[in-house]
Amino acid sequence: MSDNGTRRTSTGVGSEAVPRPPCRPPLELIEADGEWLVREYRRDQADVTTFAAYDRRIDAMRAGQGRMNADRHPCLLRWDAPDIVGDIYWNELFERLVVEWSRMLDAWVVVPDGEPVVFHAASDLESAYETGKTVLREYDFKRLVVRDGDGTTETTVEHRFLRHGIAESGVRFDRERLPAKSAEETPTDENGETDPDPPDIGPATPSSTLMAAIPDLTQLEELDTAGYVHRYRGKWTDGEEALIALLDPDRSDDRTAAKRFVTSVDDWQALSDEPTVATVYDVGVSPSPWVAYHAGERSAERLADALSLDSRLRVIEDIAAAATVAAQQDVYATEITPGTVRIRSHNEPARAALAGWGIERAVRTAFDDRRVTPYTAPEQLAGAIATTTPVYQLGTVAYRLLCGREPFRGEPTLPNAIRNGTVRPASDGTGLPSGVDAVFRRAMATDPKRRYASPEAFADALADTLR
């Protein structure tokens, strides 16, 4: 019934107005024989089209999401194991299908939310609702929302993937057991009445999207969301604390920034099995590229003053080992700072692992932001990296750990001080023996060729002087 009491003939008008989206199957990202495949999702896998295969999951994720958006597939399933769906990524065009009253057409219509595509128009709500469930099923919309004449939500029907919770943590999913595209059931309560619409949880945010994208996270807390790389802290399923670095979603469309973020993460992940490298838990690309890693107890920046001399030397040796292993794989953009040195255990002697791996600086320079810190090497002022850049950076961090102050503190112009090498002697006012001054001068030489050949060589020289 229309508002004026007249009845209209039910009609599907999508092709007569704006063309409907194509009726394509969902995509899935799944590992097979050591490769990550991007292919169609179907219950029956006998006749499935595979679009591409990749060695790395992150490359397959980018390709899968690109194909989903470009070819207008409704969603992408990411398999974490043969029977575990880690997450479902929805094409925004298929987020919500709506049954509502159209004053312009004087009819109840079935339309994608916010899109000028009319799948169906009918004179009565019941007919439109039944057609809406069919469209939800056939086109794989995420959910169907039914609104009354005033625009108030009356009923919500979710896609069968969501109703069966296939991406929820701990759910084992057998595609053969999930019902095929059969008639969707209207959600009802224990009395057989239509369930009320779930409470409004507000618009999606980077935090909520990130939480949904990482099923192993049980908690998430914002630490810093003001810079190029956003920082979060959360609890992993094993109970350990995890830190998450996320490329600012507002900058994720910049291909150079995204590529540099991913390249830095790839370098880090290749070394993640080393005991002195912070363990990478997982990586992903939604809502923008991110990496989740083991946090350790605290950063060296927080715990430095509470550590014994022997523990500080052990931390320096651990980071030297990480940087040296990286150099053996031609990775020199390690960005060693007190903040990227994570203390794994502060029990004597303390142990440490290196995190970060140049992500922050790599992304900043994509926007021509070359800010200088007390841990910036002279060659980095000109945008260069030398094979001994990690030696210099480790020298500055060791200076902070052993002297209790940052290098170049008190200098009027930090870049000039770094270029000139005008750092206060390490033995000045610290109680350290004067022999350390020569060790630091060599490690922090302005000429990269005059430094120690490797971070481990510097750490050994420092230990020989202080032990």
Are 318 and 439 contained in the same domain?
A: yes
Are 332 and 258 contained in the same domain?
A: no
What is the spatial order of strands in the sheet that 75-81 belongs to?
A: 50-54, 35-40, 27-32, 75-81, 84-90
The percentage of residues in the chain with a pLDDT greater than 70, rounded to a whole number, is: 86
Are 265 and 326 contained in the same domain?
A: no
Is a pLDDT exceeding 50 seen at residue 38?
yes
Q: Which pLDDT belongs to residue 119?
A: 87
The residue among 139, 169, 184 that closes a domain is 184
Residue 79 falls within a domain, yes or no? yes
Residue 196 falls within a domain, yes or no? no
Number of domains, the chain: 3
Is a pLDDT exceeding 80 seen at residue 413?
yes
Residue 137 falls within a domain, yes or no? yes
Are 135 and 4 contained in the same domain?
A: yes
Are 104 and 116 contained in the same domain?
A: yes
Are 140 and 227 contained in the same domain?
A: no
Q: Which pLDDT belongs to residue 158?
A: 87
The percentage of residues in the chain with a pLDDT greater than 90, rounded to a whole number, is: 42
Q: Which tokens belong to 335? A: 């960005």
Residues 448-463 pLDDT 10s: 999 999 999 999 999 9
**What CATH number is associated with residue 244?**
3.30.200.20
Residue 191 falls within a domain, yes or no? no
Residues 138-147 pLDDT 10s: 899 999 999 8
Are 243 and 375 contained in the same domain?
A: no
**Predicted confidence band of residue 13 (pLDDT cuts 50, 70, 90):** very low
Rounded Cα gap, residues 265 and 268, in angstroms: 5
| pLDDT: which is higher, 423 or 17 | 423
**Mean pLDDT, residues 7-13 taken together:** 38
Q: pTM of this prediction?
A: 0.59
Are 264 and 140 contained in the same domain?
A: no
Are 145 and 267 contained in the same domain?
A: no
Is a pLDDT exceeding 60 seen at residue 49?
yes
The residue among 252, 279, 294 that closes a domain is 294
Residue 279 falls within a domain, yes or no? yes
Question: Residue 262's domain spans which residues?
Answer: 216-294
Are 234 and 118 contained in the same domain?
A: no
**Predicted confidence band of residue 272 (pLDDT cuts 50, 70, 90):** confident
Rounded Cα gap, residues 103 and 85, in angstroms: 42
Q: Which pLDDT belongs to residue 459?
A: 96
**Predicted confidence band of residue 82 (pLDDT cuts 50, 70, 90):** confident
Are 309 and 284 contained in the same domain?
A: no
**What CATH number is associated with residue 383?**
1.10.510.10
Residue 211 falls within a domain, yes or no? no
Is a pLDDT exceeding 50 seen at residue 9?
no
Residues 289-316 pLDDT 10s: 899 998 887 888 787 778 889 999 999 9
**Mean pLDDT, residues 274-292 taken together:** 88
**Predicted confidence band of residue 444 (pLDDT cuts 50, 70, 90):** very high
**Mean pLDDT, residues 438-450 taken together:** 96
The residue among 168, 184, 200 that closes a domain is 184
**Mean pLDDT, residues 404-420 taken together:** 87
Are 274 and 306 contained in the same domain?
A: no
Residue 220 falls within a domain, yes or no? yes
- The least confident of 104-118, 265-279, 374-388 is 104-118
Residues 146-188 pLDDT 10s: 988 888 887 888 888 887 777 765 556 666 555 555 444 444 4
Residue 13 falls within a domain, yes or no? yes
Is a pLDDT exceeding 60 seen at residue 14?
no
Is a pLDDT exceeding 50 seen at residue 16?
no
Mean pLDDT in the chain? 83
Is a pLDDT exceeding 80 seen at residue 333?
no
